[in-house]
């Protein structure tokens, strides 16, 4: 794991107005300014991106968005293009979060389109995958991950894969307080890495960062990060407070 630079990312979902996001950013930046050995990202709502970008400029905290559309411009009411995100100061974009899949009709195919649009715009996609509780109970975890990763990365060639990050987020662990055990998470991460090494040159799979997400808190981050194939975290609830997210970043 040592060779991969950890990434600790906050997904704010539909929380925080622009003013609240700015307040967070001003309080959070000094808490993590001394951190040099890992990457840090926060993903506010679209409406707060530019304000937060201004505060994060020249700091070690990067900005991310929570979604994008795959076309670069056009008559697509309410959609946001990769170019718009890059111009707003985003470095990362979360794609295919389970809430998008479950509530907003996102499919493996639309995830794939978004991933393929993000990369040429210079955005780092954080592609989310994960099984539901029902799928886990039915013993389908690995087959679900196989399908989501394979389809999500379809038609990407090795030199496009670049900086892509995968986030393993078991749906049953999101916002529920139920974290996957470190062994469950490690097994899923190892599976994803070996699948990626079957699809792309092995060195890309070795270099790829795989984040764990689902009820990550200051209390459980260290044991998760100690696992070989866990390279960071995608944090929802616990990223909304600067002190708690600061503790997670500084695990």
**Shortest approach of ligand PGA to residue 131 CB, angstroms?**
14
Q: Which is nearer to ligand PGA, 24 or 200 (CB)?
A: 24
Q: How far is the CB of 240 from ligand PGA (least distance, A)?
A: 9
**Torsion on CA atoms 221, 227, 232, 233, rounded to nearest 10:** -50
Instruction: Reply yes or no on whether 73 is catalytic.
Output: no
Active site residue 169: yes
Q: Which residue is nearest to ligand PGA (CB)?
A: 236
Assess contact for 213 and 169: CB atoms under 8 A. yes
Active-site residue (options: 97, 99, 106, 189): 97
CA nearest to 225, candidates 217, 233, 234: 233
Minimum CB–partner distance for residue 96 and ligand PGA (Å): 11
Task: For residues 24 and 61, give the distance between their C-alpha atoms in angstroms, rounded to a whole number.
Answer: 12
The residue to which tokens 């040429």 are assigned: 120
> 83 vs 247, which CB is nearer to ligand PGA?
247
CB of 187 to ligand PGA, least distance (A): 19
Q: Which residues bind ligand PGA (CB under 6 A)?
A: 11, 169, 174-175, 213-216, 234-238
Does residue 63 sit in helix, strand or coil? strand
Q: Determine the Cα–Cα distance for residues 122 and 72; give it in Å rounded to an integer.
A: 13
Q: Can you state the percent helix, strand and coil of the chain, rounding each to 5?
A: 45, 15, 40
Q: Which is nearer to ligand PGA, 53 or 171 (CB)?
A: 171
Residues with a known catalytic role: 97, 169
């Amino acid at each position: 794991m040592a060779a991969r630079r950890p990434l600790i990312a906050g997904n704010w979902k539909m929380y925080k107005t622009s003013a609240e996001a700015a307040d967070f950013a001003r309080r959070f930046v000094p808490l993590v300014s001394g951190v040099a050995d890992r990457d840090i990202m926060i993903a506010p709502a679209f409406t707060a991106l530019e304000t937060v970008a201004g505060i994060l400029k020249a700091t070690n905290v990067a900005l991310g968005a929570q979604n994008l559309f795959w076309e670069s411009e056009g008559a697509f009411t309410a959609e946001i293009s990769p170019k718009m995100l890059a111009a707003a100061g985003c470095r990362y974009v979360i794609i295919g979060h389970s809430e998008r899949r479950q509530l907003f009709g996102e499919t493996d195919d639309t995830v794939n389109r978004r991933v393929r649009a993000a990369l040429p715009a210079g955005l780092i996609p954080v592609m989310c995958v994960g099984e539901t509780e029902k799928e886990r109970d039915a013993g389908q975890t690995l087959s679900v991950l196989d399908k989501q990763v394979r389809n999500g990365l379809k038609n990407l060639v090795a030199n496009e894969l670049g900086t892509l990050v995968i986030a393993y987020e078991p749906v049953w662990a999101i916002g529920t307080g139920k974290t996957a055990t470190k062994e469950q998470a490690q097994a899923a991460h190892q599976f994803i890495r070996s699948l990626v090494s079957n699809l792309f040159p092995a060195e890309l799979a070795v270099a790829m960062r795989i984040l764990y997400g689902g009820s990550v808190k200051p209390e459980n981050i260290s044991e998760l990060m100690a696992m070989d194939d866990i390279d960071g975290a995608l944090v929802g609830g616990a990223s909304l407070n600067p002190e708690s997210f600061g503790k997670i970043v500084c695990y």
